Structure formats: structure tokens, C-alpha cells
Homo-oligomer: A and B are copies of this chain.
Amino acid sequence: MTSGGDTGLAGLAETLRHFAEERDWQQFHTPKNLAMALAGEVGELLAEFQWLTPDESARVMTDPEHGARVRAELGDVVIYLTRLADLLGVDLVEAATDKLAEAARRYPAETARGTATRARHA
């Protein structure tokens, strides 16, 4: 499906808003609760990788069943992240772009090459 790519995050946010309204779930969707739900889904994503070696994790999508579970967990993460950002009025790509610009200043390419402590920060 390309519709996802076409509408992007803004379209997804609108769909999620409608989805919650239809079910009268806005009452549960406070930023606090949605941050918890996001963390819960990220925990399920971690569980898909926890016993894999780094190399195995790089090949996880070649296993159809495991790959489908990883993709589904990523979908859940995006759902709660997008819903949370919509409620907060934050543009996720802009927020990421600003953080990346900050990281670029802190870790110039020429000095940060191949150092894990740096890798943490972007």
C-alpha cells in the first residue's frame, strides 16, 4: 500500500483522532497514559530482539514470522507515538530534525568517527 506513504504521519494522526472519537477513547488518551502505552509497546518490540545476537537482529526480517511480529510491534509503537504527538501539537519529524541539528553541532563528523559514546547521542 502506498497510501501510508502518501498521507504520512499527518494523515495517520487524523485517522487515529477519528478512531478514538468513534470509540469515545479520548477520555483515556491523556499524554501521560499514551506515553505509558508507547513504552509498553516498545517493551514488546525489545522482547523480539532480546535473545538475538546483534548479527541475528540484522537478519530478523528474513524470517517471515519473526519479521511480521517486528513489523507489527513497530506499527503499535508508531500508533501511540503519533497519537501522543498529535495531542501535544508536536510535529515529530521537525522535533527529530531539530534534535539531529543539535547532535551535528555536538558531534562533528571529523571528530566523532567510530566512537560508541558518541553513537549514543544520535
Residues of chain A touching chain B, judged by Cβ–Cβ distance below 8 Å, are: 1, 3-5, 7-12, 15-16, 19-20, 22-25, 27-33, 35-55, 57-58, 60-61, 67, 70-72, 74-79, 81-82, 84-85, 87-100, 103-104, 107, 109, 112-114, 116-120, 122
Contact = CB atoms under 8 A, between A and B. Distances in A.
A46 B36 contact: yes
Given A15-B100, A50-B33, A51-B33, A72 B95 contact: yes
A85 B95 CA distance: 18
B10 A32 contact: no
Given A31-B57, A40-B44, A97-B1, A81 B90 contact: no
30 contacts: A4-B93, A4-B96, A12-B97, A15-B97, A15-B100, A19-B122, A20-B122, A22-B109, A25-B122, A30-B58, A35-B36, A35-B48, A36-B39, A36-B46, A39-B39, A39-B46, A40-B44, A40-B46, A42-B43, A43-B47, A47-B120, A51-B120, A60-B88, A61-B88, A61-B90, A74-B84, A74-B96, A75-B100, A78-B92, A78-B95
